[in-house]
Amino acid sequence: MRITELFEQGEFVISAEVGPPKGTNIDHLVEEAKTYLNNVTAVNVTDNQSSVMRLGSLATCKVLKDEGMNPIFQMTCRDRNRIALQSDLLSAAMLGIDNLLLLTGDHTKLGDHPQAKPVFDLDSVSLIYTAKRLEEGYDLAGNELVGEPPKFAKGAVVSPCSDSVDVQLAKMERKVAAGADFFQTQAVYEPEKFIEFMEKAKQFGKPVQLGIVIPKSVGMCRYMNANVAGIHIPEEMINELKADKEKTKAGITGVEIAARLIRECKPYCQGVHIMAMGWESKVPDILKLAGVI
């Protein structure tokens, strides 16, 4: 099911993210998804996240769909040219995978194959337009598709807590113009910035899912503050993680913080997207504590 239909019905859409392994056995991933993500609407499948070579997103999406889940096919522009990207979009449609999250992608120098040649034939905006063009029955070269064209829910990403709010709004506007149907945000740790951004983003009339990354440790927070653009974890939140080391190690503090962020931001968004990063078992507790299930 396209999640845009749920947004249109006024449903608060909950999604979570999984990362395929570096190998072909995904039994563990499937079991965790079935066990811990059974209360989410859709499951994002990352595409060689952080430029680390892994099992493909499309194949993983197909397995999850066959297991009764609703996958969101993440696609980056880093590894494929426009021919391959269009081909994979058509392949997804043929397999009944109609939810997309379209990204530019991290540079190859950041991953485990730094010598790999990056492609970036398209960027996220032009990839969104590409999916829209296929929906219209044509490829990027203007050639007509055979048969009924695909129909997608085309997702994009925005960073609402970036220091350059006007830049993010301009990027969002370009993505909407290209055909984006919904947005998932970069991780949010500053509700006041998110709320301010959302007040300005209402002009675009597109549903937005709040992005949540569970803060696991002080070290993780320090790393994200130093290395991840558009994210700032406030010192008082880091002090929460310092306060009770055993509670933090057990994940309780991270769950409490994530749930609090959802509660504070829920009135201003149309859904939440949880990036558990290996802590999928914490997702049910977060959703219950946040009061969204």
Interval 51-77: pLDDT, tens: 999 999 999 999 999 999 999 999 999
Tokens (6 digits) for 73? 């096919």
Q: Does 280 have pLDDT greater than 90?
A: yes
The pLDDT of 6-10, averaged and rounded, is: 97
What is the distance between the alpha carbons of residues 163 and 197, in angstroms, rounded to a whole number?
Answer: 11
Confidence of residue 268 (pLDDT cuts 50, 70, 90): very high
What are the angstrom distances between the C-alpha of 258 and each of 60, 65, 130, 274, 283? Answer: 27, 27, 35, 9, 10
228 or 95, greater pLDDT: 95
Is 113 within the bounds of a domain?
A: yes
* 101-118: average pLDDT: 96
| Mean pLDDT of the 213-222 span | 95
Number of structural domains the chain divides into = 1
48 in a domain, yes or no?
yes
Report the pLDDT averaged over residues 80-100: 98
pLDDT at 163: 83
Structural domain range at position 106: 3-215+268-283
pLDDT tops 90 at residue 255: yes
Confirm whether 226 is domain-assigned.
Answer: no
Average pLDDT, integer, range 30-45: 97
Mean pLDDT of 103-128: 96
* Confidence grade of residue 229 (pLDDT, cut at 50, 70, 90): confident
Specify if 106 maps to a domain: yes
Is residue 121 included in any domain, yes or no?
yes
3-state secondary structure of 134: helix
The answer on pLDDT for 230 being more than 90 is no
Name residues whose C-beta falls within 8 Å of residue 225's C-beta, 6 or more positions apart in sequence: 231, 232, 233
Q: Residue 242: its pLDDT value, please? A: 94
Q: Answer yes or no: are the C-beta atoms of 71 and 43 closer than 8 Å.
A: yes
pLDDT-derived band at 206, boundaries 50, 70, 90: very high
Stretch 102-111: mean pLDDT: 95
Cα 168 from Cα 155, distance rounded (Å): 16
| Rounded distance between C-alpha atoms, residue 186 and residue 132, angstroms | 23
Domain contains 186: yes
pLDDT of residue 202: 96
Q: Evaluate whether residue 137 is within a structural domain.
A: yes
**Residue 31's CATH number:** 3.20.20.220
* Rounded mean pLDDT, 102-110: 95
Would you say residue 73 lies in a domain?
A: yes
pLDDT of the residue at 284:
97
Overall average pLDDT of the 215-234 stretch: 93
Percent of the chain with pLDDT over 90: 96
Helix (H) or strand (E) holding 7: helix 3-8
CA neighbor of 108 nearest in space, from 77, 130, 75, 86 = 77
